[in-house]
Amino acid sequence: MQLKNKISEAEAVLFAYGEPIPAARLAEACGLEEEVIPKVIALLNDRYDAQQSALRVLQLEQCYQLCTRPAFAESIKKAIETKRTAPLSNAAMEALTIVAYNQPVTKSFVENVRGIDSSSVINNLVEKDLLEEAGRLDVPGKPIAYRTTSRFLRCFGLHSIEELPPLPGKDPQGSLLDLDPADAPDPDIPEELFPEE
């Protein structure tokens, strides 16, 4: 099959999948080698650019997702009448920062750094799909480890964790300082991205 058809095939898979799809799974679905996928995605985005399309494929770590461009965010929000939620609290931002820069980490690790119980904060971040379970650590008690999600990347306009800015300042005990909740993303309506349903 010609590459042009493969590009359209990849587009169809991305649209139907609806969420970030691993490159390996996309390649398998399209009958391609995984190393060819970046070229296919680049050509698909070139096609969108040439057509001045409202769509764009974003890379999120080793996954790809078909999305709408930020320029159309307001129109989309009006159409689906999505309600915005309050920004993340200072405690949530602090816990999210700790996980983002040290992941995967346990709830007790976050609590040791913050010096306070963080169960409800972690659970809230999981509910908002900004954190997810990353298995259990091979230590006594087998505690659950947590990591950031692809939604976290979208909310902060990142393609990968490696793009995180330098850490905020730390006090001598290692607690993170200068965390401003005003800098928090909106976990329900990321300004940078509106996935195609």
Domain limits of the chain?
A: 3-68, 90-183
Query: Do 3-68 and 90-183 come out as alike in CATH topology?
Result: yes
**Spatial separation of the C-alpha atoms in residues 10 and 48, rounded to whole Å:** 13
| Short-list 35, 49, 40, 46, CA closest to 14 | 40
pLDDT number for residue 195: 40
How much is the pTM?
0.51
pLDDT tens-digit profile of 140-153? 888 999 999 998 99
pLDDT number for residue 80: 66
User: Given a cut of 60, is residue 175 above it in pLDDT?
Assistant: no
| Short-list 28, 30, 20, CA closest to 65 | 20
Second-level CATH architecture of 3-68: Orthogonal Bundle (1.10)
| Fold of the domain spanning 90-183 | Arc Repressor Mutant, subunit A (1.10.10)
Most confident by average pLDDT, 65-69, 162-166, 168-172, 192-196: 65-69
Q: Please give the torsion angle defined by the CA atoms of residues 159, 165, 170 and 174, in that order, rounded to the nearest 10 degrees.
A: 20
